[in-house]
């Protein structure tokens, strides 16, 4: 990846790394690159955003840059990230831009670009945009009637997205009771309307009152405690949790226990296999997929292919081999029949459908995809160069090898740099939580000393 674009676009704390000037430059450069890519003087770019207080600031700057370079803008407003991907294609736009930092705290934000097919922009085009910015953004500005225009899309676009989501399931969920946590994020604009389309489903919506600073704050898929309390107190069948931009979905079972992305994918893949719709009898995970998912796949006659972390990598493998389902333990799940990217609301409907058809309780549905105790420690690192130096250190390699030998096949170790934050991540799985914690802390100490 380059100096600006990481594994999931440009990220940073607003006005402390990511500011209006950079957003304006991204708009200029994106307009130039997409015009060249599409062979047009007037590309059409769709823009959506989440509920962060900084999203308006960055949106205004992006729009100014796009219009200055002659691009027309389709203004979508607050919508989930996967809605931007869908509406980019549905509206015939040449690209889509999302302003969001997903599950991160409100002071962070980001800029992510989709192509006209709804897939994340390929590296070569991101590199072109980055080169223009880093070389001083010396691009010709349009004047007179060549300036771009902004078209404010109405609520019809949200209805089109909800129509699409509803069309992916064939169940009325009669008698089910769920509580839906919108993380005070982008799904606040879509989830109430979506679940209202199923009148036989009792759905209570929580954390859907964004104020600009409460996104992901003690709620959503990264903070399940409040959702768990609601599920247990209200006797619900299931709790549904999205992150700030609603591309992730995690669940809570009837006992208030969390259901992670591995278990969600396992249950959905098993249903697809029973229907004869699981291409290659395979699903795609990542190196972070729990050992329990590997065992589940083996016991159910499925292949599990693991990629580096990142839904972009998962999707590339799915496209390469024509697989229909893939995802991450963190809650990104891709159903390639229906979406070009991870979609939390879509995944929640698919999982609800599997649960409804099974006639089981949620805890029973996922019981055979057990989770090995897993400990994850995040260690701040000063710079990308320092991350690379530590990862290359022989002392770290020796320590990892020693822990793997000690576990003798009953667990695993993964140390990797974050693609979106200044962190090194130490993950250990073992037969007991105590053992996983001990091994992880010992490896963390090695990294701290480096």
88-106 pLDDT, tens digit each: 999 999 999 999 999 999 9
For the record, the structure tokens of 367 come out as 């019981």
Q: For residues 307 and 183, what is the distance between their CA atoms, to the nearest angstrom?
A: 28
pLDDT digits (tens, 9 = 90+) for 376-407: 999 998 887 888 888 999 999 999 999 988 88
> What is the predicted pLDDT for the residue at 1?
47
With a cut of 80, say whether residue 15 has pLDDT above it.
yes
> What is the predicted pLDDT for the residue at 420?
67
What is the Rg, in whole angstroms, of the alpha carbon atoms belonging to the chain? 22
Helix pair 156-167, 81-90: axis angle to 10 deg? 100
With a cut of 90, say whether residue 412 has pLDDT above it.
no
> What is the predicted pLDDT for the residue at 104?
94
* Catalytic hit among 54, 55, 68, 102: 102
| Short-list 120, 100, 128, CA closest to 29 | 128
With a pLDDT cut of 90, the percent of the chain lying above it is 84
**What is the SS3 assignment for 220?**
coil
> What is the predicted pLDDT for the residue at 437?
93
Q: For residues 297 and 211, what is the distance between their CA atoms, to the nearest angstrom?
A: 42
Work out the mean pLDDT of the chain and round it to a whole number: 95
| Short-list 284, 313, 310, CA closest to 297 | 284
Query: For strand 258-259 and strand 249-252, is the pairing parallel, antiparallel, or unpaired?
Result: antiparallel
Residue 26: exposure state from Cβ atoms within 10 A (0-12, 13-18, ≥19): buried
Average pLDDT estimate for 32-42 = 94
With a cut of 90, say whether residue 411 has pLDDT above it.
no
Q: For residues 184 and 336, what is the distance between their CA atoms, to the nearest angstrom?
A: 27
Q: For residues 318 and 308, what is the distance between their CA atoms, to the nearest angstrom?
A: 13
> What is the predicted pLDDT for the residue at 59?
98
pLDDT digits (tens, 9 = 90+) for 139-183: 999 999 999 999 998 788 899 999 999 999 999 999 999 999 999
Is residue 102 flagged as an active site residue?
yes
Query: What does pTM read for this prediction?
Result: 0.90
> What is the predicted pLDDT for the residue at 2?
62
> What is the predicted pLDDT for the residue at 193?
97
> What is the predicted pLDDT for the residue at 353?
98
For the record, the structure tokens of 196 come out as 């209202």
Own/partner contacts of 274-277, CB < 8 Å, gap of 24 or more, are 277/324
CB burial string 154-175: b at 16+ within 10 A, e below: eeebbeebbebbeeebebebee
């Amino acid at each position: 990846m380059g100096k600006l674009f990481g594994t999931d676009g440009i990220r940073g704390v607003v006005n402390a790394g990511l500011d209006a000037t950079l957003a304006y430059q991204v708009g200029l450069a994106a307009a130039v690159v997409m015009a060249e890519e599409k062979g047009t003087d007037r590309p059409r770019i769709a823009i959506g955003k989440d509920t962060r207080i900084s999203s308006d600031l960055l949106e205004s700057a992006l729009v100014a840059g796009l219009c200055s370079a002659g691009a027309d803008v389709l203004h979508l407003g607050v919508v989930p990230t996967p809605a931007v991907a869908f509406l980019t294609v549905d509206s015939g736009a040449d690209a889509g831009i999302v302003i969001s930092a997903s599950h991160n705290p409100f002071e962070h934000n980001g800029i992510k670009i989709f192509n006209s097919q709804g897939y994340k922009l390929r590296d070569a085009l991101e590199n072109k945009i980055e080169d223009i910015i880093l070389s001083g953004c010396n691009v010709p500005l349009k004047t007179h009637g060549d300036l771009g225009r902004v078209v404010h899309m109405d609520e019809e676009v949200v209805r089109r997205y909800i129509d699409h989501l509803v069309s992916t399931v064939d169940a009325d969920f009669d008698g089910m009771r769920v509580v839906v946590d919108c993380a005070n994020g982008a799904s606040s604009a879509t989830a109430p309307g979506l679940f209202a389309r199923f009148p036989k489903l009792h759905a209570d919506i929580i954390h859907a009152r964004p104020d600009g600073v409460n996104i992901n704050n003690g709620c959503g898929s990264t903070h399940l405690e409040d959702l768990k309390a609601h599920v247990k107190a209200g006797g619900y069948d299931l709790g549904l949790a999205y992150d700030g931009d609603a591309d992730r979905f995690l669940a809570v079972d009837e006992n208030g226990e969390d259901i992670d992305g591995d278990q969600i994918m396992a249950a959905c893949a098993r249903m697809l296999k029973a229907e004869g719709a699981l291409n290659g009898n395979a699903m795609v995970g990542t190196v972070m997929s729990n050992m329990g998912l590997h065992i589940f796949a083996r016991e159910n006659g499925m292949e599990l292919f693991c990629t580096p972390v990142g839904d972009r990598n998962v999707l590339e493998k799915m496209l390469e081999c024509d697989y229909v389902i893939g995802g991450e333990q963190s809650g990104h799940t891709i159903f390639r029949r229906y979406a070009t990217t991870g979609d939390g609301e879509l995944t929640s409907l698919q999982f609800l459908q599997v649960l409804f058809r099974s006639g089981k309780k949620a805890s029973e549905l996922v019981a055979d995809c057990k989770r090995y105790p897993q400990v994850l420690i995040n260690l701040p690192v000063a710079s990308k160069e320092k991350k690379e130096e530590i990862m290359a250190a022989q002392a770290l390699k020796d320590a990892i090898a020693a822990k793997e030998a000690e576990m003798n096949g009953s667990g695993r170790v993964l140390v990797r740099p974050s693609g979106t934050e200044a962190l090194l991540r130490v993950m250990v799985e073992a037969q007991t939580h105590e053992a996983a914690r001990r091994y992880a802390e010992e490896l963390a100490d090695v990294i701290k000393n480096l």
